Structure 1
Amino acid sequence: MKIGYRTVKTAVGTTLSLAIAQWLGLQFYSSAAIITILCIKTTKKKSYQTAWERIVGFALGMATSTIIFELIGYHAWALALVLLAFIPLCVKLNATDGIISATVIILHLYLLKHVSLAIVLNEILLLVIGIGMAMLANWHMPSNERKLKESQAKIEANFRTILHEFAAYLREGNQHWDGKEITETARLLKEAKSLALRDIENVAPYDCAYYYRYFEMRERQFEILERIAPSVSSLDQCCQQGKLIGDFLDRLANAVHPGNTASYYLEELEQMSDRFKASPLPQTREEFETRAALYHFVGEMKRYLKIKRDLWIKQKKKEETEKHKLNRTK
């Protein structure tokens, strides 16, 4: 059994909420602990959103229950009318997370059978203590940078292996490669993007999204690698152009890293494409099919490299914009 950081924060925050509410002598003091549990989320952004929805829910719940109970009376069927009015309002205002905590407050009023300033103040303090302790507990969020770097390194290692295996097939024919890096990379990319998005939601401002953009770029490149895998297997390894592409893929595999080398390899690919065009026309159907597969492969690799080049162009423009803003501020 593993006890995570969020579990520890929840336990400590809930206990403190309960203790503070009880120390202040509030009625239904355990509700403060419940609100804390409900407000502690996996990211700061989600916690802030949940807190806001609970405040909205509280206001709607107090208003609708006070009006209906005071007009009709504190009856079970009156409670049904309160919920019929209150829940749709919360949904309309996108405050569905506030329904549960506000319903607890509505039930408090139902049990007390009257509304007074002291009761309203009691409920407000329960809400403030519960939400305040949750925000305090979620103030510190552990950074996922180490895990993101590990995922980045593993994904790049898998990319290198895949490209080397493609190159080996083009030069030497059938290889005993089980392709596990392909399935593993698909899983790693999904997990890494989710982790990077969580990091964005914990950091302000929300434009600190390098890793998310990076993994999104690698995901698009990976889709191309998956697409060209059948093309590689259909190429004739004895073809001279196939061997040239194999050598190119080996060099490209050795250059898989976070840095920008896409422009260099795009130029090399263009030169290779020009050499293919200058080659003698195919004489047989097999040669024609092989040449067609090669052109398709080269086109896909161009798209593969342009994806990374475009990311670096955007990153460069962003850095220049931020530098310009900083200079203007000075």
Structure 2
Amino acid sequence: MFKIGYRTIKTAIGAPIAIFIAQLLQLDYAISAAVITMLCIQTTRRASYLKAWSRFYSFLIGVTIGGLVFEFIGYSPLTFSLTLLLFIPLAVKLKATEGIITSTVIILHIYNAGALTVGLFINEVILLSIGITIGIVLNLYMPSLTDDLVTIRKEIENNFSRILHEVARFIETGDHSWSGEELAETAQLLEKAQELANKDVENHLLRTRHPYIDYFHMREKQFEILERMLPFITHLNATDNQYKYIAKLFEDLSKNVHPGDTSIQYLERLRTIRQRFNKEELPVSREEFERQANLYILLNEIEQYLTLKRSIKSFK
């Protein structure tokens, strides 16, 4: 069963309303009001306002170039082509690309009329105003992304828990059966999460930051650390009892992946582990030296992982 998105619903509502108003005002090319409305319905409120200005700006550029070319050179397919060759690069240079299609439609109206008159100019301004206004009004409603953000946050946290659990299991037993699929999935989820959080910011005109942006950025950095840890962990000897307390730390971390801050207690445990590690006898072989070096690097990575969590305020 196919799903109808909210932008489709807005388009289905706004387009006929635009035509109705344009016909009520007895405007020429009334159907174009629907096209403009469809182009003005954006994914966020902020995008609607910014692109509305871009369309007006582009409209003035297009009408000016089209009017001058047509009036001084003539109305023909070649002059229409020349108009586009001048208009489109200039619109791009002046950062008014969002209005290129809308303005091209209006240029075609001028071409079809065979003359740029005051009446035609006013007609096009009203058409543009109708389309932009209806698009902005419809974009005042934007579905809340809070539930989506909470859902994806929980999915990321569940994956973190699984990864940490599998790390603990490997250190303790040397079991290599984990497929690691959570790694690829988490990378995709983090990318999607940042997109959703940024989109939610764009839907609030007075909001410049979002708590979830910082939270997902923190998880992204922690995920990078987890990925860096894995090669060092594979070099630990699972049969050596001295690594059991490291496995216990990872297992406990896996049970406490949530928005709250429990990093202080784990940093204290890490400090105790370091003290224990420093009291151990010096390695007598190259293999033991490499294992202890890997463990030392691993402890530093865990510390960075926990320190990142402290930088984010707890929230629900």
What amino acid does structure 1 have at the position aligned with 2:88? Answer: I
Q: CA deviation at 1:50?
A: 2.0
Distance 1:122 1:111 in 2: 14
Question: What residue is the counterpart of 1:328 in the other structure?
Answer: none
Of stretches 12-21 and 259-268 in structure 1, the one that deviates more from structure 2 is 259-268
Paired residues, number: 314
Q: CA deviation at 1:175?
A: 4.7
Q: CA deviation at 1:55?
A: 0.7
Question: What residue is the counterpart of 1:155 in the other structure?
Answer: 156
What amino acid does structure 1 have at the position aligned with 2:225? Answer: I
Distance 2:242 2:229 in 1: 16
Runs of 4+ in 1 over 6 A off after TM superposition: none
What amino acid does structure 2 have at the position aligned with 1:101? Answer: T
Question: What residue is the counterpart of 1:92 in the other structure?
Answer: 93
Distance 1:74 1:154 in 2: 60
Note the 1:1-330 alignment, pairs <5 A. 1-312=2-313
Distance 2:205 2:61 in 1: 30
1:253-287 deviations in Å (ceiling 9; x for gaps): 22211011223322321221122112110122222
Q: CA deviation at 1:295?
A: 0.6
What amino acid does structure 1 have at the position aligned with 2:205? Answer: A
What amino acid does structure 1 have at the position aligned with 2:291? Answer: T
Question: What residue is the counterpart of 1:327 in the other structure?
Answer: none
Distance 2:4 2:78 in 1: 44
What amino acid does structure 2 have at the position aligned with 1:192? Answer: A
CA contact under 8 A between 1:168 and 1:175: conserved in structure 2?
A: no
Distance 2:81 2:186 in 1: 52
Give the alignment's TM-score, normalised by structure 2.
Answer: 0.94
The root-mean-square deviation of aligned C-alpha atoms, in Å, is 1.7
Give the alignment's TM-score, normalised by structure 1.
Answer: 0.90
What amino acid does structure 1 have at the position aligned with 2:197? Answer: A
Q: CA deviation at 1:171?
A: 1.5
Q: CA deviation at 1:177?
A: 2.1
What amino acid does structure 1 have at the position aligned with 2:113? Answer: L
1:91-121 deviations in Å (ceiling 9; x for gaps): 1110111111111111111111112221111
Contiguous gaps of at least 5 residues in structure 2: none
CA contact under 8 A between 1:21 and 1:129: conserved in structure 2?
A: yes
Contiguous gaps of at least 5 residues in structure 1: 317-330
3-state SS of paired residue (1:311): coil
